[in-house]
Amino acid sequence: MRSIHPEHAMLKPLPFALALLIGASPAFAQTAGPAQSWEQQRAKLVAAAQREGKVVILAPPDTQVRQALPAAFKARYGVAIDYLGGRSSESAGKMRAERDAGVYTVDVALAGIQTMATIFYREKMLVPLRPLLIDPDVVDPTKWKTGKLWFMDPEEQYILRLFNTAGANFYVNTQFARPADFHLARDLLDPKWKGKISMHDPTVPGTGSNQAARFYVQFGEDYVKRLYVDQQPGIARDRRQITDWLARGRYPISIDAERDEVERLKKDGLP
């Protein structure tokens, strides 16, 4: 398999955002009086977190993040991270079920902006994050590209945009298609690719709906209808399923297969 980037189809990278969930543990409920310095405030917050023993976060199922974030946090603050990796839309379902049962197990959410905006924020699952940002390295506006903390919610209190990601998300199995066949996004509409393209489900929050929205904004409603309906793509909610289809040639053209797995398959000699 080979990853390619069609000309004029390079879309905006995905934003990831950070928020505290309602019912966050007592370590995150500590506040300080105005007379305290930021060092005192941070020391008090860290001490409370250390007493509790761990911070539970919802986060992406990304191997590098899963390895790097807990290690860096533990080294800096002496507090362990319980990392619950998974798709944002699935995590949101977990949060709904917990709240219906009056259970609060998660402190922090790191997720795509759509899940943050349309589920966590809209359904009032969040508590203000801004009051807990006290470290000068964090609140210094010159450290942010926007010249201020990059809050995405109207109140600028709940959802902090941390970073964007961009990566290869378009793959072809070269036993069935040539990379040279794809130069423009409209090349995906060629009738010969009917029934040969796979992608994430666009009807649920997450990667699939983000992709569909981008196609809609950039290329229009007709393009989206022709790609998602007329081309009869394989639709899945599991990236592993999309990757398996790609490897087996069931759907040899993939929008958003699992990158790490594709790279492993390439090393194993798959085309």
- Tokens matching residue 34: 């105005």
CA distance 49 to 77: 9
Report pTM. Answer: 0.68
Q: What is the pLDDT of residue 56?
A: 92
What is the phi-psi region of residue 23: left when phi exceeds 0, alpha when psi lies from -120 to 50, beta otherwise? left
Mean pLDDT per 10-residue segment, the chain (271 residues):
30 56 50 70 87 89 86 91 84 86 88 86 91 88 90 93 76 93 94 96 84 93 97 92 94 90 90 90
Please name the residues in contact with 177: beta carbons below 8 A apart, sequence gap of 6 or more: 193, 196, 252, 253
Amino acid in the structure at residue 226: R
Q: What is the pLDDT of residue 247?
A: 93
Domains, the chain, ranges and CATH? 14-165 (3.40.190), 168-267 (3.40.190.10)
